[in-house]
Amino acid sequence: MSETIDTLLQEDRIFPPSEAFKANANLNDPAIYGQADADWQGWWEGWAEKLDWFEKWHTVVEWNQPYSKWFLGGKINACYNCVDRHVKNGLGNRIAWIGEGEPGDVREFTYSMVLEHVQRLANAIKSLGVGKGDRVCIYMGQGPELCLAMLACARIGAAHSVVFGGFSAQSIQERVNDAEAKLVITADGSWRRGNIIPLKQIVDSAIEMGCPSVTNVLVYERVGAPFAETMGIPAPDYNRGTWVEGRDVWWHDVVPQQSDDCPCEPMDSEDLLYILYTSGSTGKPKGIMHTTGGYLVGTSATSKCVFDYKDSDIYWCTADCGWVTGHSYVVYGPMANCVTQVLYEGSPDTPEKDRFWRTVEKHKVTILYTAPTAIRTFMKWGEEYPAACDLSSLRLLGSVGEPINPEAWMWYHRVIGGERCPIVDTWWQTETGAIMITSLPGIVPAKPGSATKVFPGVWATIYDEDGNDLVKTQGVPVGGFLVLKRPWPSMLRGIWGDQDRYVKTYWSKFSDAYFAGDGAKLDADGYFWLLGRVDDIMLVSGHNISTMEVESALVDHPKVAEAAVIGKAHDVKGQAVAAFVILKGSAEPSDELAQELKKHVATKIGALARPDDLIFSAELPKTRSGKIMRRLLRDVAEGRVLGDVTTLADPAIVQSLKCQYEDKEG
Ligand code: ATP
Ligand code: MG
Q: Evaluate: CB of 402 within 6 angstroms of ligand 1.
A: yes
Which residue among 627, 630, 644 has the greatest number of ligand 1 atoms within 8 angstroms of its CB, and so is best to mutate?
627
Which residue among 281, 302, 502 has the greatest number of ligand 1 atoms within 8 angstroms of its CB, and so is best to mutate?
281
Q: Which ligand is nearest to the CA of 325?
A: 1
Report the percentage of the chain scoring pLDDT > 70.
98
- pLDDT band with cut points at 50, 70 and 90 for residue 5: low
Report the percentage of the chain scoring pLDDT > 90.
88
Atom of ligand 1 nearest to the CA of 627: 7
Atom of ligand 1 nearest to the CA of 623: 7
Instruction: Mean pLDDT check: name the lowest of 11-15, 250-254, 499-503.
Output: 11-15
* CA-nearest residue, atom 27 of ligand 1: 427
CB 649 within 8 A of CB 657: no
Cα separation, 202 vs 214, whole angstroms: 15
Backbone angles phi, psi at 387, to 5 degrees: -60, -30
Q: Evaluate: CB of 400 within 6 angstroms of ligand 1.
A: yes
Bond before 30 cis per omega within 30 degrees: no
Domain residue spans of the chain: 19-522, 544-665
What mean pLDDT do residues 2-24 have?
Answer: 81
CA of 405 to the centre of ligand 1 (A): 15
pLDDT of res. 660: 87
Q: Evaluate: CB of 285 within 6 angstroms of ligand 1.
A: yes
CA of 163 to the centre of ligand 2 (A): 17
Task: End-to-end CA distance of the chain: give it in Å, rounded.
Answer: 32
Atom of ligand 1 nearest to the CA of 425: 27
Q: Evaluate: CB of 425 within 6 angstroms of ligand 1.
A: yes
Strand blocks (E) in 42-198: 59-64, 67-72, 75-76, 95-100, 106-110, 135-139, 159-162, 183-187, 190-192, 195-197
Which fold does the domain 544-665 belong to in CATH? Answer: GMP Synthetase; Chain A, domain 3 (3.30.300)
What mean pLDDT do residues 277-298 have?
Answer: 92
Q: Which ligand is nearest to the CA of 281?
A: 1
- The three-state (H, E, C) secondary structure of 503-557, written as one string: HHHHHCCCCCCEEEEEEEEECCCCCEEEEEEHHHCEEECCEEECHHHHHHHHHCC
* CA-nearest residue, atom 16 of ligand 1: 401
Which residue among 163, 278, 376, 506 has the greatest number of ligand 1 atoms within 8 angstroms of its CB, and so is best to mutate?
278
CB 74 within 8 A of CB 318: no
CA of 371 to the centre of ligand 1 (A): 11
What confidence tens digit (pLDDT) does each residue in 231-275 have? 998 889 999 999 999 999 999 999 999 999 999 999 999 999 999
Q: What's the whole-model pTM score? A: 0.95
pLDDT of res. 4: 58
Atom of ligand 1 nearest to the CA of 516: 18
What's domain 19-522's architecture? 3-Layer(aba) Sandwich (3.40)
What mean pLDDT do residues 297-309 have?
Answer: 98
Residue 35 CA from chain centroid, whole number? 29
Q: Does residue 656 or residue 365 have the better pLDDT?
A: 365
CA of 572 to the centre of ligand 2 (A): 31
What mean pLDDT do residues 181-206 have?
Answer: 97
CB 495 within 8 A of CB 563: no
Q: Evaluate: CB of 278 within 6 angstroms of ligand 1.
A: yes
What confidence tens digit (pLDDT) does each residue in 575-626 have? 999 999 999 988 999 999 999 999 999 999 889 999 999 999 999 999 888 8
Which residue among 163, 164, 279, 435 has the greatest number of ligand 1 atoms within 8 angstroms of its CB, and so is best to mutate?
279
CA of 648 to the centre of ligand 1 (A): 15
Cα separation, 99 vs 105, whole angstroms: 8
Atom of ligand 1 nearest to the CA of 278: 3
pLDDT exceeds cutoff 70 at 530: yes
Atom of ligand 1 nearest to the CA of 647: 3
pLDDT exceeds cutoff 60 at 442: yes
pLDDT of res. 49: 98
What mean pLDDT do residues 79-104 have?
Answer: 98
CA of 317 to the centre of ligand 2 (A): 20
- pLDDT band with cut points at 50, 70 and 90 for residue 662: confident
Q: Which ligand is nearest to the CA of 369?
A: 1
What mean pLDDT do residues 146-166 have?
Answer: 98
Residue 104, H or E segment: none
pLDDT exceeds cutoff 60 at 3: no
Residue 448 CA from chain centroid, whole number? 20
- pLDDT band with cut points at 50, 70 and 90 for residue 1: very low
Q: Which residues of 49-60 are buried (b: 16+ CB within 10 A; e: fewer)?
A: eebebeeebeeb
pLDDT of res. 2: 45
Cα separation, 356 vs 375, whole angstroms: 11
pLDDT exceeds cutoff 70 at 481: yes
CA of 288 to the centre of ligand 1 (A): 13
The mean of the pLDDT values for the chain is 95
What mean pLDDT do residues 541-548 have?
Answer: 89
CA of 446 to the centre of ligand 1 (A): 20
* Residue 403 CB contacts under 8 Å (≥ 6 apart), including other chains: 372, 449, 451, 529, 530, 531, 532, 548, 552
pLDDT of res. 6: 64
Max CA distance (Å), the chain: 72
Atom of ligand 1 nearest to the CA of 430: 10
Q: Evaluate: CB of 451 within 6 angstroms of ligand 1.
A: yes
- pLDDT band with cut points at 50, 70 and 90 for residue 225: confident
pLDDT of res. 12: 85
DSSP-assigned letter for residue 571: T
Partner residues linked to 437 by β-bridges: 427, 454
Q: Which ligand is nearest to the CA of 518?
A: 1
pLDDT of res. 648: 87
What confidence tens digit (pLDDT) does each residue in 48-63 have? 999 999 999 999 999 9
CA of 299 to the centre of ligand 1 (A): 17
What mean pLDDT do residues 28-52 have?
Answer: 98
How would DSSP label each residue in 454-520?
EPTT--EEEE-TT--BHHHHT-SSEEEEEEE-S--TT----BTT-HHHHHHHHHSSSSSSEEEEEEE
* CA-nearest residue, atom 5 of ligand 1: 279
pLDDT exceeds cutoff 70 at 8: no
